[in-house]
Amino acid sequence: MMAALVEAGVLRSGVLLGSLTTYKLGGPAKWFAQPADEVELMAVLEVARDIDVPIVTLGRGSNVVISDAGLDAVVIQLGSGFGTATINADGIVAAGAAMPLPRVARYAAEHDRGGLEFMVGIPGSVGGAVRMNAGCFGSETAQWLIDATIISTTTAERRVATPQDLEMQYRTTNLGTDEIVSSARFATIARPQAESLAEMRTITAWRRDHQPGGTFNAGSAFKNPPGDAAGRIIDSLGLKGFRVGGAAVSFKHANFFEADADATPQDVYALVHRVKEKVLSATGIELTPEIVFLGVFEPVSGSQPEERP
């Protein structure tokens, strides 16, 4: 099975992962797979179980930093067969987990359906949106999700889960690292295409004016604490421009951490932890990172070494 997947190009070794993330940082995967459909996905999962190597699912890499050492794992990025959508007569949009969220928003609008316009402001995929209950501009995935199809990487069993099943809360669900979202269904509302497009233009204009574009970053570095905004707190401490190596807090939005061309994954890791420590020391508020760090990172200011998976 493994030899056949390698020969077919579905399974490759030593693929550099940095180019698959928005930070453009990170070393190689022991094995990298981009299954085109569920049949190939099941074959990859079988091989991973046979060789007893951890599995890491990578979406569009918009909230991930991978260490320079890479990942001793089978890294799976769902391929083309998971990147399409359909819509039925009731306006329910069924989308594959690899479909970019802006495309989902525009697809619904093309069929005079609204509600998903907020997705145009999120640079992730459907799978990542379900896993993290992504949201912006007052809306989040849980409000519109009907259900998602989940595949266990350990048993290959499929299940269909509702937002209640997933215990979706602010930027979190109960999905484990041994579960892959393969598709999702979203409710929509009747809305003229012109209105949806106008709202999406407003969202993209706001992002252009208030968030750093054209830089290497992963969106919000921290989740917002209850009743406040992480960016406001970081800004209030005068930390815009605060730098560790090649990574710095954005001058445009304090909850965005930008990487220079010569930055390392460790620089971003250290910056996140240094800012977290400064906020805790000054305010007593413990910020929770939205950025997910994968691989081995050196400890910062007395913290413990971190390694995932």
In 3-state terms, what secondary structure has residue 90? coil
pTM over 0.85: yes
Sheet containing 11-12, strands listed edge to edge, beginning at the edge strand earlier in sequence: 11-12, 29-33, 71-76, 55-57
Residues 184, 237, single domain; the answer is: no
User: Coil, strand, or helix at residue 5?
Assistant: helix
CA dihedral 227, 229, 232, 235 (to 10 degrees): 130
Q: Are residues 53 and 133 in the same domain?
A: no
Question: E-strand spans in the chain?
Answer: 11-12, 29-33, 55-57, 64-66, 71-76, 85-87, 93-96, 113-114, 135-136, 139-140, 145-152, 158-161, 179-186, 189-190, 243-244, 247-249, 257-259, 292-297, 306-308
| Domain C-terminal end among 163, 196, 229 | 196
> 196, 222, 244 — which closes off a domain?
196
Do 89 and 189 lie in one domain? The reply is yes
Q: How far is CA 247 from CA 4, 25, 56, 81, 252, in A?
A: 42, 12, 25, 36, 14
Domain that holds residue 56: 2-77
Residue 8 pLDDT: 86
Residue 217: CB atoms within 10 Å: 24
72 and 112 part of one domain: no
Q: What is the pLDDT of residue 304?
A: 47
CATH code for position 225:
3.90.78.10
Residues identified as active-site:
171, 220, 290
- What pLDDT band is residue 1 in, cutting at 50, 70 and 90? confident
Q: Are residues 192 and 94 in the same domain?
A: yes
In a domain, 301, yes or no: no
Q: Which of 196, 228, 247 is the last residue of a domain?
A: 196
Does residue 303 belong to any structural domain of this protein? Answer: no
Residues 115 and 185 in one domain: yes
Q: Say how many domains are in the chain.
A: 3
Residues 56 and 121 in one domain: no
Tell me whether residue 151 is in a domain. yes
Residue 204 belongs to a domain: no
- 3-state helix vs strand vs coil in the chain, percent to 5: 30, 25, 40
pLDDT band, very low/low/confident/very high, at 309 (cuts 50, 70, 90): low
Q: Residues 68-97: pLDDT tens digits? A: 999 999 999 999 999 999 999 999 999 999
Co-location of 126 and 217 in the same domain:
no
Write down the mean pLDDT value for the chain: 95
262 & 291 share domain: yes
| Tens-place pLDDT, residues 16-48 | 999 999 999 999 999 999 999 999 999 999 999
